[in-house]
Structure 1
């Protein structure tokens, strides 16, 4: 009888041994492609949902994915829109029993002024991998960087050139008539002088993709702020960039 219970205890012990379990996490820009190496990736943090303990973390690596699969082909149930090159983060977590996880993604990781946090929760079962396409979190918005004027730049009263770089959250190109069509997006600069609204100016792509421009006459000395926003009413994507500059003699 003692031997029987010893064997039973051994079997029970083996059953509860930690098993390495794979979990793939990806970040996909809303109305665009996956967030990968070309824009610095997405930061992934996987936690025990009950204790907050970090079980794995890293950066998504790889390409933005296959444009045809993601943006053009009809999507079918169980048909993946990723391939082997598509950006993702592979975690391998050792667990003895089902564990409830919180998955957090911050993206794009190298654009802190534009990064968005998205999260979800799920149960991870020992030995039951969640790989392939894995868990995909959607990241809404645009990355907006004001190029001109520069931060705290001193400018003489004149016609100044407002410039802003606007891209999808995956870095995908915005151009006139392109797949992400600049002419169907609203990009404007809200100008403030000494803290008060001065004017709002429409910006558009001229000579260079992703670069929205506008000429603005500024004659009065003072401290100025330009708030550049991008908005697509078809998707609800939004993004904002800000800069402060000074006009003086």
Structure 2
């Protein structure tokens, strides 16, 4: 019997087209929530979201969270019951669009805050996504722990005379950019902020930085002998375990 290649080719063309039509765009909302704080959004540059096929590593979508940090009262001061939402239409998030032909196991990563390299951490989770079954509302929420610590003084590689008093100053904020103030929602008095001053030639010293009148600003003063120094300033919350660190180097001559 003579084989009809035209029918054979038509059959496989049909299968190919059917497979293409089966791919469905599926929406997955992803948000990054700072631990003990609010959502990471436009005000601090956002969180970089990367969604991968967990089996192959292929990136299915990526982008930045944009929008507001959310409602402080709702997120931090309101008892929530099952199915209560933490977000509204303005709350920061990244709406991923995935083209899926079959149920897919994905890895969701948040790199945040994306513009603060010394503070950036990666938070991730995994979830099954079904073609055409959108994950919306609060969506996939990734918790991002820590503080953003920026050393304001002394400046990197600053040369200071041994006779001069050294100003130690740091800016401490939550990972969403929310300010730290005395007796505020994020109480500066609750946090331990210290400078570790080390040199290969001298004994390591530890100095406490105290809150100032300026929000999120902690400061102290000290004197140092001639040497090269590494200054590490850290913030620690003994209640939540949030931590943050920044480093700089100076020369005392």
- SS of structure 2 residue aligned to 1:69: helix
Structure 1 or 2: larger strand share? 1
Find the counterpart in structure 2 of residue 198 from structure 1.
Answer: 204
Q: Deviations over 1:176-202 (max 9, x none)?
A: 111100011100001112365431101
Change (3 A) 1:197 1:20: farther
Aligned length: 240
Find the counterpart in structure 2 of residue 79 from structure 1.
Answer: 84
Contact 1:16-1:97 at 8 Å conserved across structures: no
Contact 1:163-1:211 at 8 Å conserved across structures: yes
2:215 aligns with one of 206, 209, 233:
209
1:65 aligns with one of 70, 73, 98:
70
Q: Deviations over 1:95-130 (max 9, x none)?
A: 111011011110000001110001111111011000
Deviation at 1:30, TM superposition (A): 0.2
Deviation at 1:206, TM superposition (A): 1.3
Contact 2:201-2:227 at 8 Å conserved across structures: no
Q: Does 1:34 align with 2:39?
A: yes
Deviation at 1:15, TM superposition (A): 9.8
- SS of structure 2 residue aligned to 1:97: coil
Find the counterpart in structure 2 of residue 171 from structure 1.
Answer: 177
Find the counterpart in structure 2 of residue 93 from structure 1.
Answer: 98
Find the counterpart in structure 2 of residue 151 from structure 1.
Answer: 156
Q: Does 1:221 align with 2:197?
A: no
Contact 1:195-1:224 at 8 Å conserved across structures: no
Q: Does 1:44 align with 2:49?
A: yes
Change (3 A) 1:201 1:132: same
Contact 1:107-1:116 at 8 Å conserved across structures: yes
Where structure 2 has 5 or more consecutive residues not aligned to the other structure, the ranges are 1-6
Contact 2:19-2:101 at 8 Å conserved across structures: no
Find the counterpart in structure 2 of residue 108 from structure 1.
Answer: 113
Find runs of 4+ consecutive structure 1 residues off by over 2 angstroms. 12-16, 193-198
Q: Higher mean Cα deviation, 54-63 or 186-195?
A: 186-195
Find the counterpart in structure 1 of residue 18 from structure 2.
Answer: 13
- Measure the CA separation in 2 of the matches of 1:197 and 1:230: 22
Deviation at 1:14, TM superposition (A): 7.2
Contact 2:65-2:93 at 8 Å conserved across structures: yes
TM-score (norm 1): 0.92
- SS of structure 2 residue aligned to 1:123: strand
Contact 1:45-1:104 at 8 Å conserved across structures: yes
TM-score (norm 2): 0.91
